[in-house]
Amino acid sequence: MLEIDVLTIFPELFGPFLDTAFVGMARRDGAARIDTHDLRGWATDRHRSVDDTPYGGGPGMVMTPEPLVPAIEALAGPKGPDRKVHVICLSPQGRPLDQARLVALAAAPALLFVCGRYEGIDQRVLDLAVDEELSIGDYVLSGGEIPTMVAIEGLVRLLPGVLGNPDSIETESFRGGGVLEGPQYTRPPVYRGLEVPPVLRSGNHAAIEAWRREQALNRTRARRPELLDAAPESRSDAGIEETKRPLGDPTHPKRD
Ligand code: 9WO
């Protein structure tokens, strides 16, 4: 079972998300435990403050280490080689999250997601208590909660033993590290004058497979050409199995 804790000042944002569809099913089936924790529970002052004005000036407020570091340590223990909980913060400053990283994280025993708000988190929190920063894309939101839900949804569908997910994550990692999906169709055969490609209705499974591969490659070349540089079927090492990486060894090496 994957154990996930979320530290946030808005635990109510997670309510229906955690109870619905695949994530709700995974929790009910015991494939995942996911709990939220209100950061204000660790605030000690009269106003239950979690933020303060930025040193050096500038707009808005910064999350102070004072309730945040004790909260992370209470939920995950002190940072270091003995900590079994991997602590993640979703932020625009993180390395890009991708399918390969999700596959590695889904194999962890326990994860703690720390959700930032305001203009950001005091750097000492990240230095003292957070293991990894991840980004879901190059845009700014108002907090880390929705990116955390993105990561959790991606993780939960990789867990074994959830009804309706594949026994093996082999197909998932192939899709994640490979090319975009091509077009898909269902009935009716003609809709508003647009016909389903006849090859899909031909019953010729070899022709269908070849057509799908060609469509996927064409679409990838047009929309995401950079993926083809890394796609297994376009590489000289095609067919050689990828080595499994431990948690502390992310796909994208640190450059700073
Ligand atoms: C807000 C802001 C306002 C004025 C000047 C600079 C500023 N930076 C930020 C900012 O980065 N706010 C973040 C809001 C603080 C951490 C949580 N927030 C967040 C996370 N926004 N977007 C994300 C996010 C996370 C993962 N992937 C993409 C975006």
CA diameter of the chain: 72
Note the pLDDT tens digit of each residue in 88-133: 999 999 999 999 999 999 999 999 999 999 999 999 999 999 999 9
DSSP assignment of 92-126 equals EEEEEP-HHHHHHHHTSSEEEEE---TT-B-HHHH
Q: What is the DSSP string of 37-73?
A: EEGGGG--STT---EEPPTT--SS-EE-HHHHHHHHH
pLDDT tier at 142, thresholds 50, 70, 90: very high
Ligand 1: distance of its center to the CA of 117 in Å?
7
pLDDT above 60 for 171: no
Categorize the per-residue pLDDT at 163 as very low, low, confident or very high, splitting at 50, 70 and 90: low
Any bridge partners for residue 195, and if so which? 190
Separation of CA 86 from chain center: 14
Looking at every residue in the chain, the average pLDDT score rounds to 90
Residues 6 or more apart whose CB falls under 8 angstroms from that of 112 comprise 4, 5, 6, 7, 72, 75, 76, 85, 86, 87, 88
pLDDT band at 178; cut points 50, 70, 90: confident
Write down all domains in the chain, each with its CATH number in brackets: 2-156 (3.40.1280.10), 173-229 (1.10.1270.20)
Ligand 1 interacting residues, C-beta cut-off 6 A: 59-60, 90-92, 116-117, 119-120, 135-137, 140-144, 147
- The 10 Å Cβ neighbour count of residue 75 is 18
User: What's residue 230's pLDDT?
Assistant: 77
Specify the range with the lowest mean pLDDT, choosing from 39-43, 119-123, 245-249.
245-249
Q: How far apart are CA 26 and CA 236, in angstroms?
A: 38
242 has a pLDDT exceeding 50:
no
Question: Which protein residue's CA is at the shortest distance from atom 6 of ligand 1?
Answer: 119
pLDDT for the residue 39? 98
Distance CA 231, CA 221 (A): 11
Cα 142 to averaged position of ligand 1 atoms, centre (Å): 6
Residues 215, 163: Cα–Cα separation, whole Å: 30
Share of the chain above pLDDT 70, in %: 84
Distance CA 52, CA 103 (A): 37
- pLDDT on residue 177: 56
Q: Give tens-digit pLDDT for 203-239.
A: 999 999 999 999 999 999 999 999 998 756 555 455 4
